[in-house]
Amino acid sequence: MVKAPDALTGLTPLHEAQRIVLDAAAPLGLEKVSILDALGRVLGEDVIAERHNPPWDNSAMDGFAVRAEDIAQDHAISKPVTLTVIEDVPAGKMPTQSVGKGQAIRIMTGAPIPKGADTVVKVEDTEHTPESVRVFKPETRGANIRPQGEDVKQGDCIIPKGTRIRSGEAGMLAILAKSFVLVYQRPRVAILSTGDELADLDERFSEEKIINSNSYGIAAAVQEAGGVPILLGIARDTPAALKEKISHGLNADILVLSGGVSMGDYDFTKAVFRDLGAEMNFWKLAIRPGQPLAFGKIQGKLAFGLPGNPVSSMVTFEQLVRPAMLKLSGASSYGRPMLQAEFQEKFSKRNDRRHFLRGVLWREGGVFKVRTTGDQGSGILTSMVKANCLIDIPVDVERIHPGDSVTVQLLSGSAWLEQAAPAPTTGHRPSCC
């Protein structure tokens, strides 16, 4: 694996780290699943139409199939045209007769157009009995007819490989009679938290312990990205305990550790990685929050060492682990949606790191605006709870003023709604994370 310049001793720029991670990730194998299980998965094959849709010309309205020439009006004063009704054709049935001169067939929406007919007159433009119909309004030839292949033409690639299946794609697969489809496998992500200070949810713990929130936050992020989380629990602060847990995690496609990647006396991750034959690419990122971050491969598996602070682990997951997961799952793009918004506060930082502020994005008068969620410390998990976006502040930007344009990464779709932004509960100045 190619290492970033000075990656093992200095700070690696985020764009370089993302390139390294994506270069190291390769799509997983394929599996066949039913369309009911395909939602959110990525297609591993082109879906080719084996027949037209609709398979034949069909009626777009309830009405009468007629010949356009029989209802044409060549005079200034229109007169009703009376036609003989020779058949009723409901949806799901094929017509048995052809429409001749002066004739009509009663037809329902979706039913095939009978031979001889070239137009459908809407039922509300008629007056009819079982034997005849009076047409009060002329129609152009082809009116109210859905032509064969209007939606899908036989032989066309309807859904290309690499498409993520949504409800629309699932419906199309059903139209094409694809009860099963090839998709990329979902990446399995082993999640391990480290530290003697941690207690799990089902443990009795004393006041000096803190709840292991990172495992559950990361597991939820893995699920949201389409992966399968595997919780390994907590590794205590000994090399042996850490090595044992990591070894179990190497059965997954990705290993994600939380904590233990700083320079403290009880941060054994580097040594354990080395013992397991890890090929490491970098240990520090030029971002805030999230500077202490390790990435490499252990026995061919992608391995991430995320910071222990909850916000730092979530932000770095978004920037590195999530893109890797998406590539493994066969996706053709790996980033969150991004847009420009007007910043509503003052902010300042040093020009040595890229910052990701937790933000609230809204639209007002057709203009996107954004503010921070409040205090931006890396241990303030409520800053992520309140956030619907991350505000991306480049390395070389030192100051931002109200009204300046900033780039935001969307974390949810709620920002697209026209809404007023709730005011912060207390005045604050965003701190460096």
Which domains are present in the chain?
A: 14-29+185-328 (3.40.980.10), 32-53+151-184 (3.90.105.10), 58-146 (2.170.190.11), 338-416 (2.40.340.10)
| Long-range Cβ contacts of 221-226 (<8 Å, 24+ apart) | 221/314, 221/317, 221/318, 221/321, 221/322, 222/189, 222/191, 222/256, 222/325, 225/322, 225/325, 225/326, 225/329, 226/40, 226/41, 226/42, 226/186, 226/187, 226/325, 226/326, 226/329
Give whole-number Cα distances, 150 to 47, 56, 89, 108, in Å: 18, 9, 21, 18
Work out the angle at residue 110's Cα, subtended by the Cα atoms of residues 106 and 114, and round it to the nearest 5 degrees: 50
160: preceding bond cis by omega (within 30 degrees): no
β-pairing verdict for 188-194 and 254-258: parallel
pLDDT at 362: 94
Using CA of residue 195, residue 200, residue 204, residue 207, what is the dihedral sign?
Answer: positive
pLDDT attached to residue 205: 64
Task: Give the C-alpha separation, 65 to 132, whole Å.
Answer: 13
Q: Are strands 301-306 and 254-258 parallel, antiparallel or unpaired?
A: parallel
What integer pLDDT is reported at residue 418 of this predicted model? 56
Tokens of 403: 């009204």
DSSP count for the chain of H helices, then E strands: 8, 28
Query: Taking a C-beta distance cutoff of 8 angstroms, is the pair 83, 99 a contact?
Result: no
The residues near 210 (Cβ < 8 Å, ≥ 6 apart) are 197, 198, 199
pLDDT of residue 419: 56
CA dihedral 78, 82, 86, 89 (to 10 degrees): 40
The answer to whether the CB of 298 falls within 8 A of the CB of 265 is no
Per-residue pLDDT for the chain (433 aa), expressed as one digit of tens each?
A: 444 444 455 899 999 999 999 999 999 999 999 999 999 999 999 999 999 999 999 999 999 999 999 998 765 557 889 999 999 999 999 999 999 999 999 999 999 999 999 999 999 999 999 999 999 988 999 999 999 999 999 999 999 999 999 999 999 999 999 999 999 999 999 999 988 788 887 776 666 788 888 999 999 999 999 999 999 999 888 889 899 999 999 999 999 999 877 655 446 788 888 889 999 999 999 999 999 999 999 999 999 999 989 999 999 999 999 999 999 999 988 989 999 999 999 999 988 899 999 999 999 988 999 999 999 988 888 999 999 999 999 999 999 999 999 999 999 765 555 554 454 444 444 444 3
Looking at the DSSP bridge assignments, the partners of residue 191 are 231, 256
